[in-house]
Structure 1
Amino acid sequence: MHRVLFVCTGNTCRSPMAEAILRSKKLSGVEVRSAGVFAANGAAASLNSILVMDENKIGHSHQSRLLEKEDIDWATVILAMTMTHKQAITGRFPEALGKTYTLKEFAGEKGYPDVGDPFGGDIHVYRDTFSELQGLIEKASKKLMEQEYRE
């Protein structure tokens, strides 16, 4: 069983889209959640995130959540959207060391480690972010299913 936790800042743009994308794959033995390092509990996903998920026929129902210790304990792998998120997670929750990666790192991408934040951007910025997330999650999914990640 893999329990994947996506983490971004406010849990209204990147991590909800990533959660919805991975959930839509309906992978056997994979559960998925998302949270934010500075999220307000109960906020909806951003309007443009919702529009892009709808355009891609990806089901979603989302309420933002602040990252808590219970999330860290639940997750078998934590995928942060940026290096700063990864550092915030492992700094606050040392027990997350060894199972926390940036999404790009986990997917095997080289170079710049961050998925850009579309917050405040127009629909085109959100579409670009969604497309980037789809590609990264495709690679990450294969890695999960092959059980190649190392804790």
Structure 2
Amino acid sequence: MRKLLTVCLGNHCRSPFAQIALARRGGTDMDVRSAGLIGKWQDQPASESMVKAARRLGYDLTGHRGQQITLHMLHWADTVLAMDTTVLETLRAICTHADEHKLALYLGDRDVPDPMGQDDAAFNHCAVLIEAGTALHLGRPPR
């Protein structure tokens, strides 16, 4: 079983949606978790705007509760997917040498833009990008 960890700044928008999109598309062959670099939204639900964007695509994010990244999470994962280059750089600075090879950008060569503080269109665009990006990690396009 593959173990994926998606990481964004606060585990409030992007990484929670990436977690449920990858989990749905990966099925029983994957264990997917998410976390944020900061603990501002620890134990809090996902952003209401992201919950709405997820719902538009047929996903339910209402059960999500935010988590801050730990070294244990980094060690647990086979692959750690950062939502943007700033998150990736921070992960490189905090992870152990043994975990460095696990780190990658979620979209391969570009960032998933952070929609925080923007309108619903930005959240919808972000969700579509994340859902399309699942194909990079599953080897098949979204259904």
TM-score of the pair, normalised by structure 2? 0.89
- Matched residues in 2 for 1:118 and 1:51: separation? 13
* 2:116 matches 1:119: yes
Offset at residue 26 of structure 1 (A): 4.5
Aligned residues: 137
| Matching of residues 1-151 of structure 1 within 5 Å | 1-40=1-40, 41-60=42-61, 61-94=63-96, 95-105=98-108, 110=109, 113-142=110-139
Counterpart amino acid of residue 81 in structure 1: M
Offset at residue 51 of structure 1 (A): 0.6
Counterpart amino acid of residue 36 in structure 1: G
CA RMSD of aligned residues (A): 1.4
Offset at residue 84 of structure 1 (A): 1.3
After superposing the two structures, state which structure 1 stretch, 79-88 or 55-64, moved more: 55-64
TM-score of the pair, normalised by structure 1? 0.85
Offset at residue 138 of structure 1 (A): 1.8
Please give the per-residue CA displacement for 1:59-86, whole angstroms capped at 9, x wherever unaligned.
Answer: 3321110000111111000000111111
- Matched residues in 2 for 1:65 and 1:54: separation? 21
Please give the per-residue CA displacement for 1:83-116, whole angstroms capped at 9, x wherever unaligned.
Answer: 11111112111232001001122xxxx4xx2110
Structure 1 unmatched runs, 5+:
144-151
What is the DSSP-based 3-state SS (H/G/I as helix, E as strand, rest coil) of the residue aligned with 2:28? coil
- Matched residues in 2 for 1:71 and 1:62: separation? 17
Offset at residue 22 of structure 1 (A): 1.0
- Matched residues in 2 for 1:47 and 1:131: separation? 16
Structure 2 unmatched runs, 5+:
none
Counterpart amino acid of residue 4 in structure 2: V
- Matched residues in 1 for 2:139 and 2:55: separation? 25
Moved over 4 A (4+): none
